[in-house]
Amino acid sequence: MTSTSDSATTRRVAVLVAMEGIEQSELTGPWQALQDAGWQPVLVAPEEGEVQAFNHLDAADTFPVDVTLSTAVVDDFAGVVLPGGVANPDALRLDESAVAFVREAVTSERPVAAICHAIWMLVEADVLAGRRVTSWPSLQTDVRNAGGTWVDEEVVRDGHLVTSRKPDDLPAFNAALLELLGS
């Protein structure tokens, strides 16, 4: 696919999610922080339509998909945000186009920010070897098995990756994301 913009000048940031199971605060918090800093968040998902967010286990709001994975091009985005929620990254990591999108974003050294269970996308993309990251604590074995070093910290920045553990970490996560993007 042909890129429509240069990643060095674009203000667009892909927010990659599955069709359901997204932790709402981990979607809306970074989204608002990006908008407030002058970035254009773009909701990228496997299908057209709306995605279903959750407040833990309870269905919350729906959000319209801006771009489908089949038409998304990493070069069209300055960075990628990966919200958590258990079901969201668990479903998304089974989608090879989503995994390839994340792998390409990381290997092209774009800013990539993953919170909570979204670390599964980095595990599945096989991009954690030698990296220091954090996530929801139950995923530390997955991180170690993927060659990463897991730490229990509010936010961890390793090169162009930013990771956090949970919704309570959103202020630090958002600040680190914006710093990584150069805001």
Catalytically active residues are 116
Bridge-based pairing of strands 79-82 and 67-68 is unpaired
Residue from 68, 87, 81 nearest 22 by CA: 87
List the alpha helices (DSSP H) in 18-157: 24-36, 87-92, 96-107, 119-124, 140-145
DSSP 4-23: SS-TTT--EEEEE--SEEEE
Half-sphere exposure of 179 (CA within 13 A, CB side): 13
